[in-house]
Amino acid sequence: MNALRKRLWGAVAYGRRNPKLLSGVGLILALVLFWSIGSLLVSPTRAEPLAGLPSQSPSWQYLLGTDSHGRDLLAVIMVGTGFTLRIGLSAGAIGLGIGMILGFLSGYYGGLLDTVIKGAADVLLTLPLLAVLVVVVAMMPGVISLNVMILVVASLSWMLPTRAIRAQVLTMRERAYIQVARLSGMNNLEVIVKELMPNLLPYLAACFVGATAGAVLASIGLEALGLGPQHLPTLGMTIYWAISYAAMLRGMWWWWAPPAVIIALLFVGLFLLTAGLDEIANPRLRRGM
């Protein structure tokens, strides 16, 4: 118990020295709370069409008004925050997973494998990925489900983690402690898992946040073009409906502004997290700030 308290205090003390990390974590936690508490207080069915009167401006009955289909927008952004977080985190995790496997393979073993993996990542990184994803999703049969969305977005979010991890592994591979581990009889897998991974933790965390941000950006971008889960009120789909029903021209600011604010908060939170993690991973940055 005492040890736990000490660790907690240690974390808080570090947070005060790294305000970016602290505020990033705070923002993301606030969004998670908004979603979880929100879904306790407001029934998710209120986010479905015909849950209320259509096109109502904000009032005591509908705190954020309703859209042209009668969805209660407060419920929509609460439920939508959850969906968007889920897409981002799952796709980010898959992207990091693929990136770790490829990055370790490429950096640790080198050779032809390295050339192929690095080449593929480099080529894909210069492509406008949103455009490629548009083709894939547009050809999907039927209604797109949340899981399909996650897989599609994850399929192209592994390149940055791969490159970052590969670069780190390359610098670590020849260090003395790795040599010692190898000489003491560890096999390659053990070296990777027991020696390399723990040293890479801050990088892996930064990669995860980066991949998540990329996945959210891609998924919301696709959704804003109408290429998302059409029957789910994700944040991006809400923007799409608002644009295609000319919410702006009709003065229905409560339709597009709340999802836009939540998306903006999410991105600022992820950005602060990345900056904060960078400071842990690159101590050199600490001086200048």
Partner 1 sequence: MTLDYLLKRLGFFVLVVWAAATLIFLLPRLASERNPILERMGRTAAAAGVISEGLDEMVKEWEAKFGLDQPLWRQYLYYLRDMLHLDFGYSLAYYPAKVLDQVTRALPWTIGLFGMATLISFVLGSFGGALLAWPKAPRFLQYFLPLFLTLSAVPYYLLGLVLLFLFAFTTRIFPLSGGYSVAVVPSLSFPFILDILRHSVLPGLAMVLAGVGFWALQMRGMMVLGLEEDYITFAEAKGLGGKRIFFRYALRNVLLPQVTSFALSLGMAISGAILVEVVFGYPGLGTLLLKAVSGFDYNLINGVVFIIIIIIAVATLLVDLLYPWLDPRITYRRGMR
List interacting residues with partner 1 (CB under 8 A).
123-132, 134-136, 138-141, 152, 217-218, 220-221, 224-227, 239, 243, 248-249, 251, 253, 256-257, 260, 263-264, 267-268, 270-271, 288
CB 83 within 8 A of CB 145: no
Min CB(186)–partner 1 separation in Å? 37
Distances (CA, A) of 18 to 5, 113, 181, 270: 20, 39, 34, 15
CB 88 within 8 A of CB 216: yes
Between 44 and 226, CB nearer to partner 1: 226
Among residues 232, 248, 257, the alpha carbon closest in space to that of 64 is found at 257
Min CB(103)–partner 1 separation in Å? 18
- DSSP tag of 65: -
Cite the beta strand spans of 74-200 per DSSP E: none
Min CB(247)–partner 1 separation in Å? 10
Min CB(226)–partner 1 separation in Å? 6
Between 89 and 227, CB nearer to partner 1: 227
Between 32 and 132, CB nearer to partner 1: 132
Bin 185: left if φ > 0, else alpha if -120 < ψ < 50, else beta. Answer: left
Between CA 289 and CA 276 the distance in angstroms is 11
Between 53 and 261, CB nearer to partner 1: 261
Between 178 and 227, CB nearer to partner 1: 227
Min CB(263)–partner 1 separation in Å? 6
In the chain the first and final C-alpha atoms are separated, in Å, by 35
Give the three-class secondary structure for 223: helix
Residue with structure tokens 């977005």?
Answer: 153
Between 192 and 216, CB nearer to partner 1: 216
Min CB(140)–partner 1 separation in Å? 6
